[in-house]
Homo-oligomer: A and B are copies of this chain.
Amino acid sequence: MTDFAATRNLFHLPDGVIYLDGNSLGPLPRDAPARVARTTVAEWGDMLITGWNKAGWMAQPAALGDRIGRLIGAEAGHVTLGDTLSIKVFQALAAALNLVPDRRVVLSDNGNFPTDLYMAEGLMRLRDSGHSLRVVDPEAVAGAITDEVAVVMLTEVDYRTGRKHDMAAITARAHAAGAVVIWDLAHSAGALPVDLSGTGADFAVGCTYKYLNGGPGAPAFIYVAPRHADSLQPALAGWLGHAAPFDFDLAYRPGARVERMRVGTPPVLQMAALEAAMDIWDTVDMQAVRTASVALCERFIADVEAACPMLALASPRDAAARGSQVSFRFADGYAVMQALIARGVIGDFRAPDIMRFGFTPLFIGEDDVRAAAAILAEVMRDRLWDRPEHHKRAAVT
C-alpha cells in the first residue's frame, strides 16, 4: 500500500502554498536537482560525448518508457519517450490512418485538448487524401462510431472539467466497428489506473510534466500495441527510429517495435529530472492513488458546494466519471483564481469560465483540501477577487 504521508516528503513544496495544479505542472521531486546536477556535471561535463554510452543516455527513452508503461498498463517494451505530446499525436494518427486505408473519418470530441485537433487537421491538410475530422460532443462519441470512422482519437480525461471517457467501452465499440483508437493520456497517466493492454487500445500518447512530475518541458511518451508495432511505417522517420542509426545508411529502415517512433536526439537533462520522478512513481500503486484521489475530490466538492453556492460544479458529480481534478464555473473565474493564488492556493483557469483544481495524493492531503476550500469560501464570501489587480491577464493562464 502506498504511504502518502511518506511520498509527500519526496516533493519540494514552497511554504505557504497549497498546490492544486499538479495536473498542469507537477511539483519538483526533492531528488531531481541532484539528479539533474549529476547529469549536467558528472555526465555531460566529465564524460562529454562518451555519455551516450557510459551514462546510458541512448537507452533512457526505452527504460523510462517501461517505467511509465507500468502505470498505464502497457506491455514491457512498447512505450518510448521523446518530443512533445503534439508530435506524438501526429505520429500516432499518421500510423493509425494507414491501418484503416479504406475509411476517411477521424472522430474526436470537443472536449479534446485543442492541439490534438490542430495536429490532426494539419496532418490531413498535408495528406490531402479526403480525410476529415468529425468533432462531436463527448457524450455523443460512442454513438458516432460508424463504419465511416477510421480512427477514434480522444483524450481520456477532459482538461477543463475532468470528465472521463469509458476507455474500455469506447475501445471495444471502435474495434467492433472496424476502427482503431488513439488515447491521449495527458490527464490520466499518474492520475488514475489505465489498462492499455486490457482494454486493447491501439495507440496511446501522453506527457510527463503533469501528474508524472517530469518538470517543465519534460518529454512525451507514445505506446503502440504489440500487434501493430512491427508493421508501422513511421511518418516522422527520424534517425533514432532507424534500425541502426549509427550505420548512417542513406535509406531508412524502421527500428524494432515502438523504437521506430523515436525521432531525434532525446532531451538528456529533462530525462534526468524525469528519472527522479519515476523513482517515486516506481513505489506507487495506482489503485491506491485512485482511492485517495477520489476521497480528496469528494471532500473538496462537498466543502465548496456547502460554502459557495455561486460556484457551479463543472466536473461530473459521479467520481467514476471523473479524473483527478475538480472544476467549478464562475463568470469571473479568472479573477477568483488570481485571488486564490495571491493567498497561496494555486489552481488554474481555462477560458471562458473554468477554475481547475487538481488533486494528487502523492503530495496533497485532506488538510490541504479543507484549507483550500476554506480560502476559496472566504474569497467568494468577501468578494476578494473583485479587485483590479486580480483581473490583469498574464501571457500564460
Residues of A bordering B, CB below 8 Å? 12, 14, 17, 19, 21, 24-25, 27-28, 32-33, 36-37, 40-41, 43-46, 48-53, 57-59, 82-87, 90, 94, 110, 113-115, 117-119, 121-123, 125-129, 135, 207, 209, 215-220, 233-239, 242, 246-250, 252, 263-271, 273, 341, 346, 348, 350-351, 394-397
Give A260 Cβ to nearest chain B Cβ, in Å.
11
11 new A-B contacts at CB < 8 Å, known A57-B216, A115-B264: A17-B48, A21-B49, A33-B40, A36-B269, A49-B348, A83-B83, A113-B239, A122-B235, A135-B250, A216-B265, A246-B395
Asked whether B273 lies within 8 Å of A269 as measured between CB atoms, the reply is: yes
Asked whether B114 lies within 8 Å of A248 as measured between CB atoms, the reply is: yes
Q: For residue A216, which residues in chain B have a CB less than 8 angstroms away from its CB?
A: 43-44, 51-52, 57, 265, 268-269
Bound-state Cα–Cα, A396 to B39, Å: 18
Bound-state Cα–Cα, A19 to B241, Å: 28
Q: For residue A110, which residues in chain B have a CB less than 8 angstroms away from its CB?
A: 250
22 contacts between A and B (CB under 8 A): A12-B45, A14-B45, A17-B48, A19-B48, A21-B48, A25-B51, A28-B40, A37-B37, A57-B216, A57-B217, A83-B84, A84-B238, A87-B238, A115-B242, A117-B252, A118-B237, A121-B237, A122-B234, A126-B235, A217-B268, A218-B267, A267-B270
Asked whether A264 lies within 8 Å of B83 as measured between CB atoms, the reply is: yes
Q: In the complex, what residue of chain B is closest to A60 when comparing beta carbons? A: B217
Asked whether B45 lies within 8 Å of A28 as measured between CB atoms, the reply is: yes
Q: For residue A239, which residues in chain B have a CB less than 8 angstroms away from its CB?
A: 86, 113-115, 118
Q: For residue A250, which residues in chain B have a CB less than 8 angstroms away from its CB?
A: 110, 114, 117, 135
Bound-state Cα–Cα, A57 to B24, Å: 15
Residue among B12, B33, B52, B119 making CB contact with A37, cutoff 8 Å: B33
Q: For residue A246, which residues in chain B have a CB less than 8 angstroms away from its CB?
A: 351, 395-397
Asked whether A351 lies within 8 Å of B248 as measured between CB atoms, the reply is: yes
Residue among B14, B36, B218, B394 making CB contact with A48, cutoff 8 Å: B14
Contacts A33-B37, A58-B396, A86-B236 given; does A114 touch B48 at CB 8 Å = no
Asked whether A86 lies within 8 Å of B238 as measured between CB atoms, the reply is: yes
Q: For residue A49, which residues in chain B have a CB less than 8 angstroms away from its CB?
A: 21, 24-25, 346, 348
Residue among B19, B48, B247 making CB contact with A346, cutoff 8 Å: B48
Give A326 Cβ to nearest chain B Cβ, in Å.
17
Bound-state Cα–Cα, A252 to B123, Å: 13
Asked whether B396 lies within 8 Å of A119 as measured between CB atoms, the reply is: no
Bound-state Cα–Cα, A52 to B265, Å: 25
Q: In the complex, what residue of chain B is closest to A266 when comparing beta carbons? A: B217
Q: For residue A41, which residues in chain B have a CB less than 8 angstroms away from its CB?
A: 12, 28, 33
Residue among B51, B129, B265, B269 making CB contact with A128, cutoff 8 Å: B129
Bound-state Cα–Cα, A117 to B252, Å: 8
Give A114 Cβ to nearest chain B Cβ, in Å.
5
Asked whether B87 lies within 8 Å of A87 as measured between CB atoms, the reply is: yes
Give A264 Cβ to nearest chain B Cβ, in Å.
3
Q: In the complex, what residue of chain B is closest to A341 when comparing beta carbons? A: B50
Bound-state Cα–Cα, A114 to B237, Å: 10
Asked whether A46 lies within 8 Å of B125 as measured between CB atoms, the reply is: no
Contacts A216-B265, A216-B269, A217-B271 given; does A252 touch B48 at CB 8 Å = no
